[in-house]
Amino acid sequence: MGLLLKNAEFVDPAGGTVTPLDLLIEGERIAAMAPGLPETGHQVLDLTGKYLCPGLVDMHVHFRDPGLTYKEDIATGSAAAAAGGFTSVACMPNTKPVIDTPAWIRYVYEKAEAAGTCRVLPIGAVTVGQKGAELTDFAALAEAGAIAFSDDGVPVDSAKRVRDALKAAMPLGKAVISHCEDGEMVQNYAVNEGAVSEALGLPGRPAIAEDLMVARDLMLAEETGGHIHIAHVSTAGSARLIREAKARGVHVTAETCPQYFTFTEQELLKKGTMARVNPPLRTEKDRQAILEAVLDGTLDCIVTDHAPHSAEEKARPLPEAPSGMVGLETSLAACYTALVKPGYLTVPELIRKMTAAPAAVLGIPVAAAPGDRADLMAFDPEEVWTVDPERFYSKGRNTVFGGETLTGRVKLTVLGGRIVYNTL
């Protein structure tokens, strides 16, 4: 017996089309895609009024496993991913210990397989222990299954180390994902340097600290020919630099998160530590620039930077609370509300930024035709809902979207032909 998804509006992110059809899954694969497929002998789910899409791909999450599992673990993170429509996520290595050896790469895969609700693709650390001094063994990490390399969470201050990393990653066909901040300039400050930091009497993280490191890493990618991927872009200056580098043919891709085209630093005054993220929420000028860069393709991918923390940690005073927010269970709705409803993007354009574009950076497939692995999601574009973090599958409740009213909700996630989330 197969699984037949009836009366769907199938979104092809590569072709940019939406096609009414039925989709039949047999085993782990898509068996057929056509209108009016016969129902006999199959489990049938009616997707009338729903978009059916390839499973979402998030190339930037923090699952805190190993070592920090009171915040999140691979099982709870995978469940949150499934609830958000994600079938593949790439997890950053800033765990405890750091994911900097083949053994820890294999650990992540084993834990994800045991959880069985999402494909969790580990990113290997660029430097041993994320200390910035010695490169990890890129070849050994890639052989074990590292999908990319990054010291995200800890900027690599040494230009030589980034240059060496780009050269080491090139023959492996992997990207180096760069967290661009001048560490000395930003310290552990809680907010953007500007009107809000002045109002709160706090030191701020200046936008130039991001821009400088973006410029450096773009120059290194241009010189080496390596693939640099700029993580969580938040400033107008960074967007401009990436746009100009792409025009010159630099091998650069880049991402941003829903919070950077939805909110500004003013949200800190309303939601306190829930709005403390890294990089920080910026000015209205930056927000507009990030939105423009999403629309014109400068920023290829939309990611969550899913970063769970405990309630106790986020209850600390703003200067002492950790940066970060969870995002897997709100991302699609936040993007649909901010980008599709106002008419900035079509549904296929949005889904491309959340599937095919990050998949291309990571070198993984997306489901779009018969024979493809059946990693799929469906969402209701009309459902209006209010974000209640207490209902999250994630251990984290820390989100700036708490209490916000969003449009569009994931209703079904299928992983390798198995239903892993269903609220139809």
Residues 188 and 156 in one domain: yes
CA dist 245 and 293 (Å) reads 13
| Domain membership of residue 46 as a residue range | 3-52+371-422
Residues 15 and 155 in one domain: no
CATH code of residue 394: 2.30.40.10
Domain boundary among 344, 362, 380: 362
Residues 26 and 171 in one domain: no
Q: What is the pLDDT of residue 252?
A: 98
Residues 350 and 329 in one domain: yes
Domain boundary among 341, 362, 383: 362
Q: Is the pLDDT of residue 84 over 90?
A: yes
CA dist 301 and 284 (Å) reads 21
Residues 10 and 43 in one domain: yes
Residues 127 and 256 in one domain: yes
Query: Model confidence over 352-411: pLDDT tens digits?
Result: 999 999 999 999 999 999 999 999 999 999 999 999 999 999 999 999 999 999 999 999
Which own/partner contact pairs does 22-25 have at CB distance under 8 Å and 24+ positions apart? 23/52, 23/376, 25/374, 25/376, 25/414, 25/417
Q: What is the mean pLDDT of the chain?
A: 98
Query: Model confidence over 134-166: pLDDT tens digits?
Result: 999 999 999 999 999 999 999 999 999 999 999
pTM: 0.97
Closest CA to 259 of 285, 240, 282, 236: 282
Q: Would you call 166 helix, strand, or coil by DSSP?
A: helix
Calculate mean pLDDT across residues 53-78.
98
Query: Model confidence over 271-293: pLDDT tens digits?
Result: 999 999 999 999 999 999 999 99
Residue in 100, 211, 305, 375 annotated catalytic? 305
Instruction: Report whether 283 contacts 290 (CB < 8 A).
Output: no
Residues 13 and 127 in one domain: no
CA dist 111 and 156 (Å) reads 28
Task: Quickly count: other Cβ atoms within 10 Å of residue 134's Cβ.
Answer: 12
Domain boundary among 312, 331, 362: 362
Residues 341 and 379 in one domain: no
CATH code of residue 217: 3.20.20.140
Residues 109 and 208 in one domain: yes
Give the whole-number percent of the chain exceeding pLDDT 70. Answer: 100
Query: Model confidence over 206-234: pLDDT tens digits?
Result: 999 999 999 999 999 999 999 999 999 99
Query: Model confidence over 20-50: pLDDT tens digits?
Result: 999 999 999 999 999 999 999 999 999 999 9
Q: What is the pLDDT of residue 4?
A: 98
Q: What is the pLDDT of residue 340?
A: 98
Query: In which residue are the tokens 């939406």 written?
Result: 18
Residue 45 tokens, joined:
């789910």
Q: What is the pLDDT of residue 1?
A: 86
Residues 350 and 224 in one domain: yes
Q: What is the pLDDT of residue 77?
A: 98
Residues 181 and 204 in one domain: yes
Residues 132 and 213 in one domain: yes
Which residue stretches of 67-117 are H helix?
74-83, 102-115
Give the whole-number percent of the chain exceeding pLDDT 90. Answer: 100
Active site residue 305: yes
Query: Model confidence over 314-352: pLDDT tens digits?
Result: 999 999 999 999 999 999 999 999 999 999 999 999 999
Q: Count structural domains, the chain.
A: 2
